């Protein structure tokens, strides 16, 4: 093993929830073990020579049974040859078998609970001599949560208003509207939709300069523009109002600096526009036929009742979640204490993994991901990751104070949800999460959510 060999220890704990299988790109740019000096502890351990010799003998015997060397029968290879031929492998297995139990004993005696993988340094190992090494690791901070019951944020009114309900109903109605041509001979007026074709040219800022061809032509065919609509620029409203199908118009549009399409922002464009037709938006009537068209609804009243219930529940969940976030932020601001850097780095891995999965789902290729500046990304994620770890530590302490527990049924319900979302069979999922240690983290996260709900309910 090298001078920074790692130990496996059953004392680890991760307040930050981890996703399954963080992607290699996030981890390969994580440089070495970073520890918070305020939370770093070191233990020096010496293992008696008899224990070392006993471990050596056991490992050598195992190698003797397994070794296949030409000229020797299986299991009859001389011990001296085994020790010389497989010296590094034997040394590795001795270290892996003897260090963890002695390390656990040492930290139990000192009442220490590592939250990071202990880093082994100054390892001195030789058969027949005591094994000496140092182990460096982080521990959880000691801090007070006195006064957490008094932390308050404003509790929102989660009741659904008639205005919100009517707006959603109109949105659904608008989504099923149709565009019908206006056949009467008349001009365009407010509320109409103009069907136009156009070509535009950005006016040069310096008239004497050479004209630069546009990278993407400004043109469109059979585009619909709502006269007086909230998303229609005033210049288009002014030019199109009062015109008739068949007319050709010339006008200029000065786009604001904050315009959404960057190539037009702050520019002045000269347009040639042909009015090709007038259309009216025809919205369906709010009747029983409309309700049945949308799904399994008996009537328009049935649709309205179910829609109102859905919107009310959605608003309540959304506002409660936002308020819980504000409450946790207030707790994080209230209590100051050092945070284990190893846990922060774990959380950065989780956040980057989540972001990379999103990019992959949006079509980003693996080779393009490798070009990202991960050092800068990790640095940018640090403040948020540190706040999330701190929040988890605070919620865990409050959960202890409040005796918050999570029933097995709650974990099972969460597993069923994950199984449905991932389409992984429930038993396979449960087995995998148990083996990977993620089942306990799911229980921890549910406990924190339950604690957050408890604090929310106490808000005035």
As a whole number of angstroms, the distance between CA 319 and CA 328 comes to 14
Q: Which residue has the higher pLDDT, 439 or 34?
A: 439
Please tell me the pTM assigned to this model: 0.73
Q: How many domains does the chain have?
A: 3
- Left if phi > 0, otherwise alpha if psi is -120 to 50, otherwise beta: which for 266? left
Q: State whether 261 and 299 are in the same domain.
A: no
Q: Which of 36-45, 203-212, 218-227, 411-420 has the lowest mean pLDDT?
A: 203-212
- How much of the chain, in percent, has pLDDT values that exceed 70? 90
Pairing of strands 218-226, 193-202: antiparallel
Contact 9, 117 (CB under 8 A): yes
User: What local confidence, expressed as pLDDT, does residue 205 receive?
Assistant: 66
Q: Which residue has the higher pLDDT, 197 or 16?
A: 197
Q: State whether 444 and 319 are in the same domain.
A: yes
Q: Which of 3-12, 284-293, 350-359 has the lowest mean pLDDT?
A: 3-12
The DSSP symbol for 372 reads: S
The residue segments making up the domain with residue 133 are: 5-138
pLDDT value at 5 more than 70: no
Task: Look at residue 199 and tell me if it is in a domain.
Answer: yes
Contact 431, 419 (CB under 8 A): no
User: What local confidence, expressed as pLDDT, does residue 61 receive?
Assistant: 87
Contact 244, 275 (CB under 8 A): yes
Task: Look at residue 290 and tell me if it is in a domain.
Answer: no
Q: State whether 365 and 343 are in the same domain.
A: yes
As a whole number of angstroms, the distance between CA 403 and CA 405 comes to 6
Q: State whether 409 and 430 are in the same domain.
A: yes
Q: List residues bridging with 180 in a β-sheet.
A: 280
As a whole number of angstroms, the distance between CA 435 and CA 429 comes to 10
CATH code (residue 324):
1.10.3120.10
The token pair that represents 30 in the structure block: 């994580």
User: Cβ atoms within 10 A of the Cβ of 430, count?
Assistant: 17
The DSSP symbol for 39 reads: G
Q: State whether 274 and 316 are in the same domain.
A: no
Q: State whether 244 and 308 are in the same domain.
A: no
As a whole number of angstroms, the distance between CA 389 and CA 13 comes to 12
- CA of 74: how far to CAs of 57, 71, 452, in Å? 18, 10, 62
DSSP class per residue in 152-218: --PPP--PPPHHHHHHHHHHHHHHT-EEEE--SS----TT-EEEEEEEEEEPPSSTTSPPPPPSS-E
pLDDT value at 352 more than 70: yes
Task: Look at residue 261 and tell me if it is in a domain.
Answer: yes
Q: State whether 214 and 69 are in the same domain.
A: no
Could you give the angle at the alpha carbon of 246 between the alpha carbons of 245 and 249, nearest 5°?
95
Q: State whether 260 and 312 are in the same domain.
A: no
From 403, 402, 392, 409, select the one nearest 449 (Cα to Cα).
392
pLDDT value at 12 more than 80: no
Task: Look at residue 287 and tell me if it is in a domain.
Answer: no
CATH code (residue 130):
3.30.70.1050
pLDDT grade for 249, boundaries at 50, 70 and 90: very high
Q: What is the pLDDT of residues 315-345, one digit of tens each?
A: 999 999 999 999 999 999 999 999 999 999 9
User: What local confidence, expressed as pLDDT, does residue 80 receive?
Assistant: 82
Mean pLDDT of 391-402: 96
Q: State whether 223 and 79 are in the same domain.
A: no
As a whole number of angstroms, the distance between CA 172 and CA 72 comes to 82
Q: What is the pLDDT of residues 16-32, one digit of tens each?
A: 333 333 355 555 555 55
As a whole number of angstroms, the distance between CA 112 and CA 106 comes to 9
CATH code (residue 251):
3.10.50.40
From 16, 33, 17, 44, select the one nearest 112 (Cα to Cα).
44
As a whole number of angstroms, the distance between CA 392 and CA 152 comes to 18
The token pair that represents 326 in the structure block: 């504000």
Question: Locate tokens 């347009």: which residue?
Answer: 271
User: What local confidence, expressed as pLDDT, does residue 114 receive?
Assistant: 93
Mean pLDDT of 240-264: 92
pLDDT value at 167 more than 90: yes
Pairing of strands 119-124, 40-47: unpaired
Task: Look at residue 147 and tell me if it is in a domain.
Answer: no
Max CA-CA distance within the chain?
A: 107
Domain boundary pick from 88, 118, 138: 138
What b/e string do you get for 213-236 counting C-beta neighbours within 10 Å, with b at 16 or more?
A: eeeeebeeeeeebbbeeeeeeeeb
- Left if phi > 0, otherwise alpha if psi is -120 to 50, otherwise beta: which for 102? alpha
Q: Within 13 Å, how many C-alpha atoms sit on residue 133's CB side?
A: 27
Instruction: State which H helix or E strand residue 5 sits in.
Output: strand 5-6
As a whole number of angstroms, the distance between CA 307 and CA 286 comes to 13
């Amino acid at each position: 093993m090298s001078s920074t060999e790692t130990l496996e220890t059953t004392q680890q704990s991760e307040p930050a929830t981890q996703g399954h299988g963080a992607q290699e790109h996030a981890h390969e740019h994580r440089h070495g073990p970073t520890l918070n000096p305020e939370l770093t502890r070191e233990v020096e351990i010496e293992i008696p020579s008899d224990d070392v010799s006993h471990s050596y003998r056991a490992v050598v015997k195992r190698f003797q049974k397994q070794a296949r060397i030409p000229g020797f029968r299986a299991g009859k290879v001389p011990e001296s040859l085994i020790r010389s031929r497989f010296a590094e492998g034997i040394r590795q297995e001795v270290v892996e078998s003897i260090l963890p139990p002695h390390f656990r004993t040492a930290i139990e005696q000192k009442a220490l609970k590592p939250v990071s993988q202990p880093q082994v340094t100054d390892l001195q190992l030789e058969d027949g001599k005591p094994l000496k090494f140092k182990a460096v690791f982080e521990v959880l901070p000691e801090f007070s949560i006195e006064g957490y019951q008094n932390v308050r944020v404003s509790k929102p009114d989660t009741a659904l208003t008639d205005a919100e309900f009517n707006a959603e109903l109109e949105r659904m109605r608008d989504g099923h509207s149709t565009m019908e041509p206006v056949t009467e001979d008349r001009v365009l007026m407010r509320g109409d939709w103009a069907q136009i074709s156009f070509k535009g040219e950005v006016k040069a800022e310096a008239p004497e300069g050479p004209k630069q061809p546009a990278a993407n032509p400004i043109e469109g065919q059979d585009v619909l523009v709502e006269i007086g609509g909230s998303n229609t620029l005033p210049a288009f409203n002014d030019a199109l109002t009062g015109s008739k199908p068949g007319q050709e118009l010339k006008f200029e549009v000065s786009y604001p600096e904050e315009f959404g399409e960057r190539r037009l922002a702050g520019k002045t464009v000269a347009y040639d526009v042909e009015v090709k037709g007038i259309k009216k938006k025809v919205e369906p009537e709010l009747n029983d036929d409309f309700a049945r068209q949308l799904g399994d609804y008996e009537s328009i009243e049935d649709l309205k009742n179910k829609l109102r219930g859905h919107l009310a529940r959605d608003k309540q969940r959304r506002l409660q979640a936002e308020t819980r976030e504000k409450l946790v932020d207030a707790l994080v601001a209230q209590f100051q204490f050092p945070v284990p850097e190893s846990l922060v780095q774990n959380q950065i891995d989780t956040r980057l993994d989540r972001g990379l999965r999103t990019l992959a789902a949006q079509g980003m290729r693996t080779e393009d991901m490798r070009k990202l500046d991960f050092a800068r990304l990790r640095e940018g994620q640090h403040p948020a990751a540190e706040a999330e770890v701190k929040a988890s530590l605070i919620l865990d302490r409050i959960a202890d104070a409040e005796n918050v527990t999570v029933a097995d049924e709650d974990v099972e319900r969460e597993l069923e949800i994950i199984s449905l979302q991932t389409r992984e069979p429930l038993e396979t999922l449960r087995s995998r999460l148990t083996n990977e240690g993620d089942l306990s983290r799911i229980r921890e996260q549910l406990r924190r959510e339950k604690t957050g709900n408890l604090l929310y309910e106490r808000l005035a």
